[in-house]
Structure 1
């Protein structure tokens, strides 16, 4: 009796294991096997949104699955970024970031609701951009040394506008002031478009903006370009020197744009996305489109992107601390 009972249990167990084996041993479906969402922490339109959609198109074409943009603007990008931090780490929710992501830790601290360096997985830096320093013609200076001399001779008489406290153009102006020892006035606006309108009208005397934003006004003679950020001259403004060439090294402002995910995404998924984007940026149509839009294509590894994020967080935190900048 006992022997028969043991035999019965053995056969039942074996049958159960045999039935379960195909399911248990089946390989997981290759990533991605469903739609991937890319959270963009801005309303539709604008550089970060455009680049996020461009990245989604490249990934969709290469991987054969839908990558859709999900605009979650608000609260200085923290609304969408906070949602990304709380998403499942399965690779089906990703997020676009720009330099605001690296500025916010120094500006907002614990109010962010997430840890910039611990709660995310950097995947690939897609591109960077260059800022150009421009003046209204009424400032009547020919170059960066002349601007610095005028600003020092007339402290707090030159004003610059930006899209708000803690924005990239604001901190670019603050970094310039710190490096050159200037006293200038910052006027925050609620959007970049109004800044450009007032700059063209002479209500503010100078500003920083990305090269594509101002190139047309510079070529038309409505604004005077003094210097560009970065190590190389901008292709659209090849006659304009870099800050280092103009005699003021250290004004290193190159806005970044890239793709990240929540922490703990499987390494194989991160590597797959990064390799697809990097190949497209380095060899494919995406590179041509980025260049035409005025960006510098990058296509970095996850490790290099993580390092760049750490460096920028530290740099902007120091600029904010030294400038005693408080959020609005």
Structure 2
């Protein structure tokens, strides 16, 4: 029976994302942090890990970025995109006027800052390790209110003060389902490939060179993030997402070129895009697999002394 480790505790958006992907027979196991979820997969204690990777308001989740770039490689096989609308939970009997402290994960607090100012302006805000950890703290009397994922209301003995809370309509969070390397998901025609590239600042134009390798092959870059490589001044990790699947020749060719240019290149997976967001950009004329095959036949003819 497959096991999915997810960034818990119970009642987080990550649990909701895992439930969206999971089959009936799968077992969901909450863990304390993103690195612990990934370590469970690396050690074989879980078949999959579900972790947040990107929020449309607050950007990349640094804990996930850092954990994906170190230790044994693991690869994404799917992504889930969830709309982000929160519930505010309180201990039974409390009203908005009674709330003096409100807690949540810092990303969540940032996304409801306006609502809190209007409805709970008297409350002091406190950071928790996760939205669900805030609910636990409220249940234990540490805080008066918690900003949580809606699913938390089914796990904790708290009242729903408000639900559907969000300062920005359309906010979403993207989650990855990751496993140990193995057979890749088949290409669907609407896929995303993710990589981590380590470069050096000692050579001028190194980032431009990387991006040129993608552009020359008609590959659409959908996201790029940079983080310093800890303990190594002047070296950076670049996290790139782009449209396409590694089995496409243009994508495989680009990855081989990046491998030649980078100090280190880590493949994080090719997987179907979630439905939310802009559609994948397919291969442009001159960059399809058929175009590559035709070019290979032409070159073979030249090398074989046949008429070009």
TM-score range (shorter-chain normalised) is 0.3 to 0.5
Higher relative contact order (CA 8 A, sep 6+): 1
Which structure: greater helix fraction?
1
Give the structure-1-normalised TM-score.
Answer: 0.37
Write 1 or 2 for the structure with the bigger share of strand: 2
